[in-house]
Amino acid sequence: MTRTRFSPSPTGMLHIGNARTALFSALYAVKEKGIFILRIEDTDQARSEHKYTEILQDDLHWLGVTWQEGPEVGGPYQPYWQSQRHEIYDHYYQELEKQGLAYPCFCTEQQLALNRKIQLSRGQAPRYPGTCRKLSAEEIAKRIAGGEKPSLRFHVPEKTMIEFVDLVKGTQQFHSADIGDFIIRRAEGTASFMFSNAIDDSLMKVTLAMRGDDHLANTPRQLMILKALNMPAPQYAHLSLITGDDGTPLSKRHGSFSLNDLRQQGYLPIAVLNYLSRLSHAYEQKQLMPFSELAAHFKIEKLSRAPARFDKNQLLHWQKEAVMELDNVGILEWLRENNIMVGKIPETKRDLFIEVMRQNILFPSEAERWADVLFHRPPEFTEEQLAILKEAGEDFFIEACQLVKKHGTNLKATCDDLKNKLNVSGKKLFMPLRIALTGEQHGPELPHIATLLGPENMMNYFHHAALRAARGG
Residue 59's CB: how many other CB atoms inside 10 A?
22
β-bridge mates for residue 356, sequence order:
none
pLDDT of residue 366: 95
Q: Is the pTM of this model over 0.85?
A: yes
Burial class from Cβ neighbours inside 10 Å (0-12, 13-18, 19+) for residue 394 reads: middle
Q: How far apart are CA 367 and CA 354, in angstroms?
A: 9
The torsion angles phi and psi of 242, rounded to 5 degrees, stand at -100, 130
- In a 3-state reduction of DSSP, which class is residue 162? strand
- DSSP label at 380? P
Q: How far apart are CA 181 and CA 178, in angstroms?
A: 10
Residue 149's CB: how many other CB atoms inside 10 A?
12
Closest among 364, 356, 366, 386 to 453, alpha carbons compared = 356
E runs forming strands in 126-188:
151-154, 161-166, 170-175, 182-185
pLDDT of residue 35: 98
Closest among 190, 181, 234 to 211, alpha carbons compared = 234
pLDDT of residue 472: 63
Residues of the chain with pLDDT under 70: 251-256, 472-473
208 neighbors 234 (Cβ within 8 angstroms): yes
Structure confidence by residue, pLDDT tens digits, 13-56: 999 999 999 999 999 999 999 999 999 999 988 888 999 999 99
Contacts 24+ apart (CB under 8 A), 249-253: 249/214, 250/15, 250/16, 250/17, 250/310
What radius of gyration, in Å, describes the C-alpha atoms of the chain? 31
Burial class from Cβ neighbours inside 10 Å (0-12, 13-18, 19+) for residue 267 reads: buried
Structure confidence by residue, pLDDT tens digits, 138-192: 999 999 999 999 999 999 999 999 999 999 999 999 999 999 999 999 999 999 9
